[in-house]
Amino acid sequence: MSVTMDKETRIATSLKMLPSQRDFLDFAATLKGKNRTEFILESALQSAENAVLDQRVFHLNEDQFDAFNTALNEPIDASCIADLFSKKAPWIMEDIRDIQDKLD
């Protein structure tokens, strides 16, 4: 996830948890070479990204599903693949405000 905060001031937030939960988070953060804040923020942002991406649901009737499946099984045009890989993935955002723009 590429959410940047270069131009923004960081804000503080607090979490209430059991000491055993804090200790477990600290242990996991240490394994990743991070401090608690970095670990929790990275994990929370990844979870938020997954929640947004999980909203991509296909509602297809049988005919639509068959057409979709047929399209998936057709040969790939190499020029389309080159074009696809030349673009930034839509879920990689430069700024957290892009999330709101995409949801509006």
pLDDT digits (tens, 9 = 90+) for 34-60: 999 999 999 999 999 888 888 777 788
96: pLDDT strictly greater than 60: no
Amino acid at 32: K
* Residue count (the chain): 104
Output the DSSP codes for 33-82. Answer: T--HHHHHHHHHHHHHHHHHHTT------HHHHHHHHHHHHSPPPHHHHH
Reported as a pLDDT band with limits 50, 70 and 90, residue 1 is very low
